[in-house]
Amino acid sequence: MNGEKQQRRPRAIHRGAILLVLALAPALASAALKVQGKGKEQILVREQFAAEQRPRYDMFAQKCTRCHELARPIAALVSGVTPLSADKFDEEGIKKYVVKMMRKPNSGIVKEEARELIQFLTYARSLAAQ
């Protein structure tokens, strides 16, 4: 019985952390990373990115919405923490995240696209961290 309580407590804390990240994501967004919309309808403002990053943003928006809303990776970009697993979303975390998504059967992400996505997400995270 005591073991069950100990298992439930981390899950409840984990869920609470996810909700907190999603609730605070718009407020945490600095002027350096412009987010438009609220909740599951969030998108990044395309015009804020340098010309060479815009095709990468388009790929990000197209590929990532095959499985989930953009709000999920946007929350990670803004907070520096992935919303579901609460892993760090730094350069190393971004690489792991993209590889994990690439392996999903319906992602349609190939190796070259994964490299481009990693470049874009690293760039966007650096804007958010300013």
Beta partners for 35?
44
CA distance 70 to 94: 15
**Tens of pLDDT along 48-98?**
999 999 999 999 999 999 999 999 999 999 999 999 899 999 999 999 999
The confidence score (pLDDT) of residue 32 equals: 85
Q: For the whole model, what pTM was predicted?
A: 0.75
User: How many domains does the chain divide into?
Assistant: 1
Direct distance between the N- and C-terminal alpha carbons of the chain, in angstroms, rounded to an integer:
46
Q: Is the predicted pLDDT of residue 114 greater than 90, yes or no? A: yes
Question: Three-class SS of residue 68?
Answer: coil
In percent, how much of the chain has pLDDT > 70? 76
Structural domain that includes position 81: 2-128
